Amino acid sequence: MNKAVAMALGLALGFGSAAAHAQRPGSTVEQPVVRSLNWFSYVAGDDIRAACRPGGRSRIRAVYNALWEEQVRTYEIFLQPDGSAGLHTGVLTDQGPATNVSSIFISEFGDITKPWRMRKAQRLLSPADTSQLMGLLQASAAFGPPRDGLRLPDNDFWWTVASCRNGVWGFQAYHYPTDRFANVRFAEKLFALDNVGIAVNRPRNLEPAELRRDPIMLRPGRGDRADRWVLVVGKDGLRPRW
């Protein structure tokens, strides 16, 4: 890595106190430096769970992992008292090792993280759209309980849903191509409401995840790559990774 890139990365890590707050549940995952520290907590909905209490805000977070290296879509749904909802959509693309930081030409400081930033969009859902979406989530058993022990590799297709509704925590996960994934009823509605402008990476049949790992990294003594991971579902959420 050349000196200019190294210096820019150092500045990105040291600017203000943003990175220091990155590990707090509820921190943003839009910027890649912050996301690398907070992603698993974000998928688990740790911030939603910590704030879930009677009288608190009702909200739902759905994450569609369409192969980590290819695409991830996130949907934040903030339910309102009048029956409407705010929908915040985020899309991550091209997160694999082919994106090499050392090959990026930096014309200004902001360029350093541009290839990995989350593309975002927001919209207000009508009470009718909100009611339909909630019905589809309910029909998909999206509020739990999940299947204990379900594994979610980074290089597979899957959904997770973390929620707090009227002070009640819920979590669900769906792994393709199992029957549970086939029972997802809310996906097409979310995709239709999604206004980011990036085509959805649809599920497709693949070899088992372990057969699609980098063969070089699977050699004895090489260990696991930092960008390869597996989440494991527990009885009411994701199991701690450490």
How high is the pLDDT of residue 227? 55
User: Residue 38's pLDDT is what?
Assistant: 81
- Residue 195's pLDDT is 94
Per DSSP, which regions of 140-212 are E strands? 151-153, 157-165, 168-175
> pLDDT at position 182, please?
87
pLDDT at residue 101, as a whole number: 33
Whether the predicted model's global pTM rises above the 0.85 cut: no
CA–CA separation, 57 and 96 (whole Å): 35
Which tokens sit at 210? 């372990």
> What pLDDT, on the 0 to 100 scale, is given for residue 205?
83
pLDDT attached to residue 67: 93
Q: What is the pLDDT of residue 217?
A: 45
pLDDT recorded at residue 11: 36
**Segment (H or E) for 73:** strand 71-79
- DSSP conformational letter for 213: S
One-letter amino acid of 58: S
**What is the pLDDT, as a whole number, of residue 216?**
46
pLDDT in tens, 158-200: 999 999 999 999 999 999 988 788 889 999 999 999 999 999 9
**Residue spans of the chain under pLDDT 50:** 1-27, 31, 33-35, 98-115, 216-226
CA atoms within 13 A on the CB side of 239: 14
